[in-house]
């Protein structure tokens, strides 16, 4: 608009016959005003961009903190569920033992009852039996003594059963109380996880709006290159630190299962290995599998977790060392549930899908590296995700 205004001013000057000196002075003044306005606009845009970057950094930190809380809450909830299952198991076994003891107790009571009835009948006819029977009184006395001894033994057994039953009842009451406590804890933890998930969703939406304001090809390229360089540095450091590790959890070498491994999760491939990213200036080192948040992510092979935390550009990231120079990476997770140094087997759940990286697609970012170099996961995993 200022340039158009200047053009019409020049036409007006010529039409009115104003002197060249006056025209030049007015043109310079207009140019200076135009330049001043442009400088002001640039300064204002720079200030706004700077504010947006500061806000984005803060939102990233908030999202990172909330993601870690969600991950921690999920771990606690899973532990509570395991404790709950174990307590229910104990309670079931205890109740089964109680039923067995009650059956034994009833049998003993029946035997005592029959014995008492028999003794009672014998007592009524003792004198008559002694007169009519050819057996000696000594033999009859021994028989009565035997019955008394048998009765005493049965009573001792009943008392023992009753004591054991009382102990089991106390244990059952204690386990029932523990079960109620764990159920309450599970409910509270579930509510807390739901709150954190809602907060994370809100933060993610806010961050997405900021990302739209700051999406330029050059900025994305610089960030991608920086993230890749940081990841390569991290992998190189890990490789150096793990050179002394020979034995892994699985006796089968990673290389021997090429083309037979399972995919880490089920979903649709949203970005293939080697596809263009950042405006075609970079290529993807892995595969992005689209899946709803919260779906389990499993290890493709046994190994040891060497990294499980937030990593710039990859969100919540888990890295597993499989030995022989092979590593697998699982990024942008909603939560990670393994710790560095932990040994895992193929198929073990290590994380849950999400979108904590710089992409708007929910799922999991998956890489395989050999001696630090990215290789195509399609050649190692069987079928399709």
pTM of the shown model: 0.57
Query: What's the pLDDT score for residue 244?
Result: 46
SS3 state of residue 85: helix
Contacts of 341 (CB under 8 A, 6+ apart): 304, 305, 306
Full pLDDT tens readout for the chain, 385 residues: 444 344 334 434 444 444 444 444 444 455 445 555 555 556 565 666 667 777 777 877 887 788 888 788 888 878 888 887 888 888 788 778 777 777 776 776 676 666 666 655 555 455 445 444 545 556 556 656 666 666 677 677 777 767 776 787 787 788 788 778 888 888 888 888 788 788 878 877 877 777 777 666 556 566 667 777 777 777 777 666 665 444 444 458 999 999 999 999 999 999 999 998 877 778 999 999 999 999 999 999 999 999 999 998 899 999 999 999 999 999 999 999 999 999 999 999 999 999 988 788 999 999 999 999 999 999 999 999 9
- CATH, domain range 217-379: 2.70.70.10
Instruction: Report domain 1-215's class.
Output: mainly alpha
State the CB neighbour count (10 A cutoff) for residue 8: 9
Distance CA 49, CA 32 (A): 25
Query: What's the pLDDT score for residue 43?
Result: 59
Look at residues 379, 66, 350 and name the one whose alpha carbon lies nearest to residue 192: 66
Distance of CA 366 to the CA centre of its chain: 16
Structure tokens belonging to residue 337: 């549930």
Decide if 264 contacts 360 (C-beta within 8 A).
no
**At 260, phi and psi to the nearest 5?**
-120, 0
**At 264, phi and psi to the nearest 5?**
-70, -25
The number of helices, as runs of H, and strands, as runs of E, in the chain is 5, 13
Distance of CA 320 to the CA centre of its chain: 16
State the CB neighbour count (10 A cutoff) for residue 258: 12
Query: What's the pLDDT score for residue 270?
Result: 96
Query: What's the pLDDT score for residue 273?
Result: 97
Q: What are the residue boundaries of the structural domains of the chain, listed by start?
A: 1-215, 217-379
């Amino acid at each position: 608009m200022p340039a158009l205004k200047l053009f019409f001013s020049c036409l007006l000057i010529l039409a009115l016959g104003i002197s060249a000196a006056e025209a030049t002075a007015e043109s310079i003044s207009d140019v200076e005003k135009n330049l001043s306005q442009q400088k002001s606009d640039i300064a204002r845009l720079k200030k706004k961009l700077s504010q947006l970057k500061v806000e984005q950094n803060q939102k990233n930190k908030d999202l990172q903190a909330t993601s870690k809380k969600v991950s921690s809450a999920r771990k606690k909830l899973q532990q509570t569920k395991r404790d709950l299952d174990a307590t229910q198991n104990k309670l079931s076994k205890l109740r089964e033992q109680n039923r067995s003891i009650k059956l034994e107790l009833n049998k003993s009571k029946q035997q005592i009852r029959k014995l008492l009835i028999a003794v009672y009948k014998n007592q009524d006819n003792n004198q008559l039996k002694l007169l009519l029977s050819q057996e000696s009184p000594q033999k009859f006395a021994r028989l009565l003594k035997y019955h008394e001894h048998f009765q005493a033994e049965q009573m001792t057994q009943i008392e023992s059963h009753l004591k054991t039953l009382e102990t089991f009842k106390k244990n059952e009451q204690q386990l029932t109380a523990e079960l109620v406590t764990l159920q309450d804890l599970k409910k509270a933890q579930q509510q807390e996880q739901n709150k954190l998930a809602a907060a994370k969703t809100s933060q993610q939406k806010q961050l997405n709006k900021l990302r739209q304001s700051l999406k330029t090809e050059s900025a994305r390229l610089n960030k991608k290159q920086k993230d890749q360089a940081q990841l390569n540095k991290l992998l190189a450091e890990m490789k150096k630190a793990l050179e002394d590790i020979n034995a892994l959890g699985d006796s089968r070498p990673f290389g021997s299962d090429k083309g037979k491994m399972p995919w880490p999760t089920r979903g649709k491939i949203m970005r293939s290995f080697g596809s263009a990213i950042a405006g075609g200036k970079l290529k993807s080192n892995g595969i992005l599998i689209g899946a709803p948040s919260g779906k389990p992510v499993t290890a493709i092979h046994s190994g040891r977790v060497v990294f499980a935390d937030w990593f710039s550009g990859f969100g919540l990231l888990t890295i597993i060392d499989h030995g022989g120079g092979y590593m697998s990476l699982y990024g942008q997770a909603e939560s990670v549930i393994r710790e560095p140094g932990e040994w895992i087997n193929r198929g073990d759940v290590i994380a849950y899908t999400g979108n904590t990286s710089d992409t708007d697609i929910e799922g999991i970012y998956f890489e395989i590296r050999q001696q630090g170099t990215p290789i195509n996961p399609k050649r190692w995993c069987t079928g399709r995700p």
